[in-house]
Amino acid sequence: MKIIVLVKQVPDTYGERKLNATTGILDRAASEPIIDEISERALEVALRYRDSHKGTEVVLLGMGPASVTAALRKALALGADSAVHVLDDALAGADMGYTAAVLAAATIHTGYDLVIAGNESTDGRGGVIPSMIAEHLQRPSLTFLDSLDILDERVSGVRRTETGTVDAHAALPAIVSITELAPDVRFPNFKGILSAKKKPLTVLALADLGLDTAALSSRGHSIIAKTEQRPSRTAGTKVADDGNAGVDLADFLAARHLI
């Protein structure tokens, strides 16, 4: 079994996150980059399967700037066997459509039986990349799974709906995404940290994947029409209780259509 785990590097949610006022693109220097927590959970699902199934290979796949290498090395320390980093200056500002196309091409290039991803990233929260990759690969897709069982020839899991749950299954090869109900990632041990430096990490450019950079520049970028600084917080309205506070509070809420 060869399992690819999609790993995304995101700004630390506990840090300050800013957009470049000129380009509208995320200012990565303003916040410490980390592995998205949902990517770590996806990795833990793969590692738990490998723990009980000898011969399983877990490969990390990440896309982004040079700083993504550090995230992949950290994930290798957790126990993954190897990593693939798609690194190309032309990918700066790539939209979800082209991101999915690139990751799908990298998946084919690497080879796979199963792709595991988080359901949605902390920064973009699009929630569609796994399904778009599955469309490119023409493989079945199970998304937003609260639990995942991996068998020799198929995968199955439970997906929540507005009215209950759905038991879903698909034949391998397949692409799946998990939710935050998946288990927390394990802590790296000393041996894992040392071995991570020696594990294979392949860097691929768009040309290595047979993708055309001209197509990306013409139709594969997100277009930021306008960026504005978030206004500073102002003092709220104070309601003094002089015997009429209840009415004043109700009027305040009604004027804002809150009641």
**Higher local confidence (pLDDT), 31 or 104:** 104
Asked whether residue 13 carries a pLDDT value surpassing 80, the answer given is no
Question: Tell me: the pLDDT tens digits for 35-53?
Answer: 999 999 999 999 999 999 9
Asked whether residue 12 carries a pLDDT value surpassing 90, the answer given is no
Asked whether residue 138 carries a pLDDT value surpassing 90, the answer given is yes
DSSP secondary structure string for all residues of 57-104: EEEEEEESSTTHHHHHHHHHHTT-SEEEEE--GGGTTB-HHHHHHHHH
Cα–Cα distance, 65 to 86 (Å, whole number): 9
Is the CB of residue 140 less than 8 Å from the CB of residue 134? yes
What is the pLDDT at residue 29? 66
pLDDT (mean) for 206-224: 79
CATH code, residues 2-218: 3.40.50.620
Cα–Cα distance, 48 to 133 (Å, whole number): 24
Residue 153: pLDDT band (50, 70, 90) is very high
Asked whether residue 110 carries a pLDDT value surpassing 80, the answer given is yes
What is the pLDDT at residue 220? 76
Per the prediction, the chain carries an average pLDDT of 90
Residue 28: pLDDT band (50, 70, 90) is low
Question: Tell me: the pLDDT tens digits for 157-166?
Answer: 999 998 999 9
Domain edges within the chain:
2-218
Residue 30: pLDDT band (50, 70, 90) is low
